[in-house]
Amino acid sequence: MGATERDQDGTIAALKKVAAQFAVAVTPHLQAQIDPSDPQDPIARQFLPDAAELVTLPHEREDPIGDTAHSPVAGIVHRYPDRALLKLVNVCPVYCRFCFRREMVGPGSKGLSTEQLDAAIEYIAQHPAIWEVILTGGDPLIVSPRRLKEVIARLNAIPHLGVIRIHSRVPVVDPARITDEMIDALKSSDKAVWLLLHANHAREFVPEAVNAIRKLVGAGVPMLGQSVLLKGINDSPAALTDLFRAMVANRIKPHYLHHGDLARGTSHFRVSLAEGQQLMRRLRGHVSGLLQPTYILDIPGGHGKVPVGPVYAEPQDDGSWQVSDPWGCSHQYDDPATR
Ligand SMILES: *Cc1c(COP(=O)(O)O)cnc(C)c1O
Ligand code: SF4
């Protein structure tokens, strides 16, 4: 056996181990976009398993954002008073290698049973403080349009709900699922249905994806973008600019840039907070204000999401403020309202 063959056997064994721990799936749509000659291909790196996932660092957790601590009934995560997650399914058309719910999602995990869905919807109906329901999972747009329409109808009947929000990656990873029936289901509510698209690289915006997005926005579904900051995929000013331009050019407002969660086996994707702030500084002033998301950390342990800078204004001992401009120069601001 030659050295390369041995290496290949080793790699295959490692990948089998990865697949035994974490779900693996790639849609034919994405498969077709991978450039096999590029070892750093941003599509391949996001979706194809890597032996590096077998490395778990001490600070990594099975439930990095504390979903279980805030789950009163199956399928519901209620951490903030005015909004709750409703996890219809635990499956996705693809499995992102950096997924923050990687211990919970996968083809083996069960979605909600009829009784569990009834109980989850009852929980929302019994809590008038809940103004917004966020369908997430798993990817909620993997369910059939008929089932989605049913769920939307039941949510639509709850008077205190103002908004139904859907978190999905489907328009870019499996755009063929955005059929006329799916659009019809999304349009079937009197309440606003917002769609938050998860996308991390400009290469995800191929013509099929752009068409799916055009259908959605054309149907009056407002869209926001959420991305994860990922080492070697989008951790450069150019990659982030291209990504956010692709969103805005397709009528999607970049909303959150997530600092990577401490999920097991994801250290090869990790960028430091300081680097993240530096990248955000680079965007401010250099590219359109429409392109600027909020840089967000979900504090490990279920303590909530907060913006993590960068900070441009700092109070001084003399009561004035030091404010830095987009190019890094400091200016003094005497706040007339406190004088
Ligand atoms: C992320 C998250 C939300 C949504 O928070 P926003 O800041 O409104 O996007 C709501 N509930 C839970 C449990 C979450 O993890
Ligand atoms: S689409 Fe979301 S839930 Fe599904 S694997 Fe990717 S990050 Fe995880």
CA dihedral 283, 285, 289, 295 (to 10 degrees): 40
**Of 152, 254, 168, 256, which is closest to residue 209 (Cα–Cα)?**
168
| Angle formed by the axes of helices 114-125 and 145-156, nearest 10° | 30
Q: Is the CB of 80 under 6 A from ligand 1?
A: yes
Q: Residue with the nearest Cα to atom 6 of ligand 1?
A: 305
Q: Per-residue pLDDT tens for 4-25?
A: 666 777 789 999 999 999 999 9
Q: Is the CB of 99 under 6 A from ligand 2?
A: yes
Q: Residue with the nearest Cα to atom 7 of ligand 2?
A: 99
Q: Which residues contact 211 (CB under 8 A, 6 or more apart)?
A: 175
Segment 311-323 mean pLDDT: 95
Q: What is residue 92's predicted lDDT score, i.e. its pLDDT?
A: 95
> Of the bound ligands, which one is closest to the alpha carbon of residue 85?
1
| 326 touches 288 (CB < 8 A) | no
Q: Is the CB of 199 under 6 A from ligand 2?
A: no
Q: Is the CB of 95 under 6 A from ligand 2?
A: yes
CA–centroid distance, residue 15 to ligand 1 (Å): 33
In degrees and rounded to multiples of 5, residue 112 shows phi and psi of -75, 140
Q: Per-residue pLDDT tens for 278-294?
A: 999 999 989 999 999 99
Q: CA angle at residue 232 from 229 to 234, to 5 degrees?
A: 40
**Residue 17: exposure state from Cβ atoms within 10 A (0-12, 13-18, ≥19):** middle
Distance CA 228, CA 221 (A): 23
Distance CA 194, CA 214 (A): 14
Confidence of residue 207 (pLDDT cuts 50, 70, 90): very high
| Mutation to probe ligand 1, out of 67, 76, 79 (largest number of atoms < 8 A from CB) | 79
CA–centroid distance, residue 134 to ligand 1 (Å): 8
In 22-154, beta strands by DSSP E: 76-80, 83-87, 132-136
Q: Is the CB of 169 under 6 A from ligand 2?
A: yes
Distance CA 131, CA 164 (A): 9
Q: Is the CB of 283 under 6 A from ligand 1?
A: no
Q: Per-residue pLDDT tens for 219-234?
A: 999 999 999 999 999 9
| 159 touches 128 (CB < 8 A) | no
Q: Residue with the nearest Cα to atom 7 of ligand 1?
A: 305
Per-residue pLDDT at 1 exceeds 60? no
> Of the bound ligands, which one is closest to the alpha carbon of residue 255?
1
Q: What is residue 3's predicted lDDT score, i.e. its pLDDT?
A: 58
- Give the distance, in angstroms, between the CA of residue 236 and the centroid of all CA atoms in the same chain: 19
Q: Per-residue pLDDT tens for 104-155?
A: 999 877 789 999 999 999 999 999 999 999 999 899 999 999 999 999 999 9
| 107 touches 90 (CB < 8 A) | no
Which pTM does this prediction carry? 0.95
Determine if residue 198 is left, alpha or beta; phi over 0 gives left, psi from -120 to 50 gives alpha, anything else beta: beta
| 18 touches 268 (CB < 8 A) | no
Distance CA 86, CA 121 (A): 8
> Of the bound ligands, which one is closest to the alpha carbon of residue 170?
2
| 229 touches 191 (CB < 8 A) | no
Report strand pairing: 313-315 vs 321-324. antiparallel
CA–centroid distance, residue 272 to ligand 1 (Å): 22
The CATH class of 57-308 is alpha beta
Per-residue pLDDT at 237 exceeds 70? yes
Q: What is residue 4's predicted lDDT score, i.e. its pLDDT?
A: 64
Average per-residue pLDDT for the chain? 94
Placement of tokens 């499956």 in the chain: 91
Bridge partner list, 136:
87
Segment 323-337 mean pLDDT: 93
Q: Is the CB of 167 under 6 A from ligand 2?
A: no
Distance CA 113, CA 124 (A): 17
Where in the chain are the domains?
A: 57-308, 312-339
Distance CA 34, CA 139 (A): 22
